[in-house]
Structure 1
């Protein structure tokens, strides 16, 4: 079998080498989490401290605050990302005007290609207390009496992050759902229409079941990344006023690793994040298998 597929095997060799060099070889660095690591010492000179770094991490109140922020932002992004992408994909699929559909798709895709540096600048401008469009609209409608410093109030940060992620990625996230919808047999829609099903009934009984397997696979994959909330948006939009709500695990790792020089603690936090992600991935896959749904393996 491998001989017949030797061309594909040879083509996969560069990827396997990349995977080994950049994903598996660096796992050697996990040993730092079990040491009192000092950069100028050789590996044999490092002081081994066992689980001391993990114990310190779990006794640190700041770590649990950061973990709360990470989970909250991740769950908000998870739910909003799925719901908005599926709704937009269904709406686009129902459009019959091809030109208008392409325009809407293009407009919704564009923010995805902006770097977070540019996107954060736009968000800060929109939310600015001095002439920001959101404050201007709310003032014009009489919903507020004075401008609000949105990024200066911690309790608003999670909502701002959720809305920003939707604005930036909803168009891009619809691509896979639109592709899945093209595989649905048009005869199913015709049969449903003959049976008297309206547009919403056809969506509920034909479109959604037709993309159910794709939805489940994406849920499993995204559950495995539930602690991956990103770094750039939180770092760029965070400040001293909202830090108790904006600091996530990535920023926590950066702070201890680069700013404070505690590389061992930062690696321990990274290991914690990876282990939890693996557990969630396998758990979600097992649940899908138990209920007879599509799964990864």
Structure 2
């Protein structure tokens, strides 16, 4: 124990420095502990179950008694006749989502930031992110009301103009486009919130200096706003690559049907049929582990490229 004199008063400092820090930040640490406990219990704890990917898992035998088969399920998956089709569908749909769906939230955030009337801005922001809270079942119901071949509103318009009805919901040519467009509509407003927060964090003095120098709104966006949110864009893009083989299982399950299996069947839906419907749990676990490894490698590669280009990555 040591004494310290501050402003004529004697203060007592006891114990190691880390104990004093814990006492000082105990409320913040309590919140952090809750988050860490959540991830430990619901995210990292269940990862123990991945061992069934290397076993011939049997429910009655459990993890400990099921026989080990090594990489047999991975070999069976890669050699399956459906592998090329489902992998290509997954990669293509994910690539479409990234190519067409990554930048609309950035554009929306930039446009919202230019709305000077804050009340209008809040109303527009609310209306654009409300679809995020709708389930895919509701969204499919809306798509059916607009796009069904018989009584869909869009096909009513097409027939009214003398055209032929288009089977949007059961057409292989339209299915992937329908997935991407509905995904963009659902999540663009929600994604814009992150970029708006990043924009609000930019130093206002930079804009004041730009106005003094005679820069217009376009130059301010190009030289201040975009560089200011570039680290956030890169960060979210890298994280998005980690889910490149997640093509939206819930959405696909709701939207697809046997007529579009050839273009809509993805890794997740194939693993669902194998694991849940056919009871081949080990094979489904192997597919999930395969996806995770591919996503992890892509994150490492993208992060390394971001650091090499000097724009910074996740670490």
TM-score (norm 2): 0.87
The aligned runs of 1:127-276 (5 Å cut-off) are: 127-140=147-160, 145-276=163-294
Cα 1:41–1:80 shift into 2, 3 Å: same
CA distance in 2, matches of 1:12, 1:184: 26
Alignment check: 8 A CA contact 1:124 1:237 kept:
no
Distance 1:137 1:97, change over 3 A: farther
Matched position secondary structure for 2:226? helix
Contact (CA 8 Å) 2:148, 2:155: kept in 1 or not?
A: yes
Give the whole-Å Cα distance in 2 for the aligned partners of 1:69 and 1:43: 33
Task: Tell me which moved more, 221-230 or 8-17.
Answer: 8-17
Q: State whether structure 2 residue 49 is matched by structure 1 residue 34.
A: no
Task: Determine helix, strand or coil for the equivalent of 1:48.
Answer: coil
Tell me which of the two structures has the higher relative contact order, counting C-alpha pairs closer than 8 angstroms and 6 or more residues apart.
1
Shift of 1:44: 4.7
Distance in 1 of aligned mates of 2:160 and 2:117: 35
* Whole-angstrom distance in 2 between the partners of 1:198 and 1:10: 47
In structure 1, list runs of 5 or more residues that go unmatched: none
Map Cα deviations across residues 217-272 of structure 1 (whole Å, 9 max, x no partner).
11111111111222211000000111111122211111000111111111110110
Q: Deviations over 1:178-217 (max 9, x none)?
A: 1111122333334334434333222212211111111111
Q: 1:5 aligns with which of 15, 18, 22?
A: 22
Measured after TM superposition, the shift of residue 90 of structure 1 is 0.9
RMSD between aligned residues: 1.9
**Cα shift at 1:114:** 0.8
Call closer, same or farther: CA 1:87–1:42 in 2, change over 3 Å: closer
TM-score (norm 1): 0.92
Label 1:216 to 1:141 Cα distance change in 2 as closer, same or farther (>3 A): farther
Distance 1:275 1:138, change over 3 A: same
1:90 corresponds to: 110
1:141 is displaced (CA, Å) by 5.1
Contact 1:231/1:251 (<8 A) preserved: yes
Q: Is contact 1:2–1:9 with CA below 8 Å preserved after alignment?
A: no
Q: Measure how far apart 1:31 and its partner are.
A: 1.9
Asked whether 1:17 is paired with 2:29, we answer: no
Partner of 2:98 in structure 1?
A: 78
CA distance in 2, matches of 1:219, 1:140: 43
Give secondary structure in 2 for the equivalent of 1:96.
coil
Distance change in 2, residues 1:36/1:68 (3 Å): same
Q: Match of 2:102, SS? A: helix
Q: How many angstroms apart in 1 are the aligned matches of 2:216 and 2:156?
A: 41
1:287 to 275, 296, 305: 305
- What secondary structure, in the 3-state scheme, does the structure 2 residue paired with 1:40 have? coil
Residue 123 of structure 2 aligns with which residue? 103
In structure 2, distance between residues paired with 1:209 and 1:243: 43
1:143-183 per-residue CA deviation (whole Å, 9 max, x = no partner) reads xx211111111121111111101111111111111111112
